[in-house]
Structure 1
Amino acid sequence: MHVRLRVPVALLGSGTAGMLVAVQSRINGGLSQQIGNGYLAAAVSFGSGMLLLALITLATPRARRGMRLLSAEVRSGGYPVWGLLGGTCGAFFVLTQGLVASVIGLALFTVGIVAGQVLGGLLMDRIGIGPGGRVDPSLPRVVGTGLAVVAVAVSVAGGLGGSGSPWLVVVPLIAGVGMAWQSAVNGLVRAAAQSAIAATFVNFVVGTAVLVVAAAVSLAVQGWPASWPSEPWFYAGGAIGMIFIAVAAMLVRLTGVLLLSMSNVAGQLIASVLLEASLPLAGGVTTLMAMGTVVALVAVLIASLPGRRSRS
Structure 2
Amino acid sequence: MTHSPRLPLLPGLLLAVAAGLFVPAQGRINGALGTALADGLAAAVVSFSTGLVLMVVVSLLLPKGRAGLAEVLPTLRERRFPRYYALAGGIGAYFVFAQSFTVGLLGVALFTVAAITGQTLSGLLVDRMGIGPAGRRPITGIRVLGSVLTVAAVAWAVSPRFGATGASGADPLHILVPVLLPVLAGFLMSFQQAMNGTATVHYGSPITATLVNFIAGSIVLWVAWLIKLVVAGTGNPLPGEWWYYLGGPMGCVFIGVAAFLVRSLGVLITGLGMIAGQLLGSLGLDLALPAPGTGVALPTVLGTLLTLAAIVLASLPWPNGALKR
TM (norm. structure 1) is: 0.89
Match for residue 75 of structure 1? 77
Aligned partner letter, 2:149: L
Q: Which ranges in structure 2 are unaligned for 5 or more consecutive residues?
A: 169-174
Question: Once the 2 structures are TM-superposed, how far is the Cα of residue 285 of structure 1 from its aligned partner?
Answer: 5.1
Aligned partner letter, 1:218: K
Match for residue 290 of structure 2? 279
In 1, distance between residues paired with 2:99 and 2:167?
15
Question: Once the 2 structures are TM-superposed, how far is the Cα of residue 28 of structure 1 from its aligned partner?
Answer: 0.9
Structure 1 residues 282 and 200, CA gap change in structure 2 (3 angstroms): farther
Structure 1 residues 238 and 136, CA gap change in structure 2 (3 angstroms): same
TM-align CA RMSD: 2.5
Match for residue 51 of structure 1? 53
Match for residue 240 of structure 1? 250
Match for residue 124 of structure 1? 126
Identify the range of structure 1 (286-295 vs 215-224) with the bigger mean alpha-carbon deviation: 286-295
Render the CA deviation track for 1:97-140: whole Å, top value 9, x for unaligned: 44444665545443333222221211110111100001101232
Aligned partner letter, 1:71: L
In 1, distance between residues paired with 2:62 and 2:201?
17
Render the CA deviation track for 1:247-297: whole Å, top value 9, x for unaligned: 111111111100000100100012123334643377655544443322212
Question: Once the 2 structures are TM-superposed, how far is the Cα of residue 15 of structure 1 from its aligned partner?
Answer: 0.4
Equivalences for 1:162-181 in 2 at 5 Å? Answer: 162-165=164-167, 167=175, 168-181=178-191
Secondary structure in 2 aligned to 1:136? coil
Match for residue 225 of structure 1? 235
Secondary structure in 2 aligned to 1:16? helix
| Contact persistence 1:163–1:283 (CA under 8 A) | no
TM (norm. structure 2) is: 0.86
Structure 1 residues 156 and 107, CA gap change in structure 2 (3 angstroms): closer
Structure 1 residues 169 and 299, CA gap change in structure 2 (3 angstroms): farther
Structure 1 residues 187 and 138, CA gap change in structure 2 (3 angstroms): same
In 1, distance between residues paired with 2:112 and 2:38?
21
Q: Which ranges in structure 1 are unaligned for 5 or more consecutive residues?
A: none
In 2, distance between residues paired with 1:282 and 1:43?
28
Match for residue 138 of structure 1? 140
| Contact persistence 2:109–2:162 (CA under 8 A) | no
| Contact persistence 1:162–1:283 (CA under 8 A) | no
Match for residue 295 of structure 1? 306
In 2, distance between residues paired with 1:281 and 1:138?
43
Render the CA deviation track for 1:199-244: whole Å, top value 9, x for unaligned: 1111000000000011111222222223433321111111000111
Render the CA deviation track for 1:43-98: whole Å, top value 9, x for unaligned: 11001111111111122333233223231122123321111121011112233444
Runs of 4+ in 1 over 6 A off after TM superposition: none
| Contact persistence 1:103–1:281 (CA under 8 A) | no
1:210 aligns with 2:255: no
In 2, distance between residues paired with 1:281 and 1:189?
41
Number of residues of Structure 1 aligned to a counterpart in Structure 2 = 307
Among 139, 160, 163, which residue is 1:161 paired with?
163
In 1, distance between residues paired with 2:48 and 2:214?
6
Match for residue 262 of structure 1? 272
1:305 aligns with 2:295: no
Identify the range of structure 1 (100-109 vs 249-258) with the bigger mean alpha-carbon deviation: 100-109
| Contact persistence 1:63–1:197 (CA under 8 A) | yes
| Contact persistence 1:32–1:99 (CA under 8 A) | no
In 2, distance between residues paired with 1:183 and 1:249?
6
In 1, distance between residues paired with 2:229 and 2:241?
23
In 2, distance between residues paired with 1:247 and 1:282?
33
Identify the range of structure 1 (13-22 vs 75-84) with the bigger mean alpha-carbon deviation: 75-84
